[in-house]
Amino acid sequence: MTEFDERLSRVLEQAIYGDFILGIIHNLSTPLSGILGGAQLLEMRMKSWTQMVGGLTTDDSEILEKIRKDHEKIVGNVELIIRNARNLSELISNMVQAQNKSAVEEVEVINLHEFLRQVFKFLDGDMVFKHQVKKEFHVPNSVPPLRFVYNQVSQLIIEWIRRCLPALEKQESSRLDVLMEPQDQQVALTLTLNVPLMESDPMTDAPGNLVPFLRGVRLPLRFYLDRVNSGKVKVDITSGDAQTTLHCVFPR
């Protein structure tokens, strides 16, 4: 790879995050609206509750019932605030972690379950992937930690899915199947989308050449495949008329 290609690849990797900014803002605004709305309702009910408590007597059964119902509503609002605050915190944390990982090209010890959760959470920045693609997980409860370059494998998965988004958007029932199979000396991960690769053939272009796509210009998928395959993780992609599959084998 030439120095120009290396620099270009880094720029394009960083540009991926810019493509998801609008979706990320949307994801942030939804839980934030829930937090503000819940807080405002809580404030209003607390004021009326304070007034009732001021004139409370043991004979005021109607007021006691009113307090009980308001208490239930307040608890519900507090739960809403906490739930949305956690969602917001997770979105921000995941974005920061993805940005930090994009600059690391070293082998790390990684939990595969957590790795996939972070990658898919990041891809939720695309509204098609988040709302139209049903995710089916066929994974064991536990998988031993694996050693690989986080950035290389995550970039490959992201780029592979992005190339399928135009077809997923048109599909009435879009599905992503995730199969994880621990074996004696390795762990196999198979991701299958029920659409073919729809954009111009990125598998036959030489690494380093820019390829036009429906959603912008980027490096060919072969570049990301070759980069991962240069290490110990082995990957391949197959695409037919009705589906495309990304198969990864991680050594233990």
Q: Render pLDDT for 201-250 as a digit per residue (tens, 0 to 9).
A: 444 443 444 433 334 446 778 888 888 988 889 999 988 888 899 999 99
**Span 160-189, average pLDDT:** 88
Which residues are within 8 A (CB) of 224 and not within 5 positions of it... i.e. 6 or more apart?
A: 152, 155, 156, 159, 160
Residue 68 has a pLDDT of 73
Higher pLDDT, 106 or 45: 106
pLDDT in tens, 79-132: 888 777 777 777 777 776 766 676 677 888 999 998 999 899 888 878 888 888
Least confidently predicted of 7-11, 152-156, 210-214: 210-214
Q: What whole-number distance in Å separates Cα of residue 248 and Cα of residue 185?
A: 14
Instruction: Report the pLDDT value the prediction gives residue 208, as an integer from 0 to 100.
Output: 40
For residue 50, is pLDDT > 60?
Answer: yes
Could you give the CA distance from residue 193 to residue 219 in angstroms, rounded to a whole number?
A: 21
Same fold, 26-97 and 106-251: no
CB within 8 Å of 96: residues ≥ 6 apart: none
Rounded Cα distance, 168 and 193, in Å: 9
φ, ψ of residue 108 to 5 degrees: the values are -130, 160
Evaluate if pTM is beyond 0.75.
no
**May I ask the CATH architecture of the domain 106-251?**
2-Layer Sandwich (3.30)
Largest distance between two CA atoms of the chain: 85
Question: Looking at residue 15, what is its pLDDT?
Answer: 61
149 compared with 26, residue with greater pLDDT: 149
Residue 218 in tokens: 């980027």
- As beta bridge partners, residue 246 has 191, 237
Amino acid at site 81? I
Question: In this predicted model, which residue has the larger pLDDT, 109 or 197?
Answer: 109
- Residue 227 CB neighbours (<10 A): 21
Domain chopping of the chain, boundaries = 26-97, 106-251
Reported as type and span, the H/E element at residue 247 is: strand 244-251
Domain 26-97: CATH class, spelled out: mainly alpha
133-138/108-110 β-pairing: unpaired
Tokens of 206: 């030489």
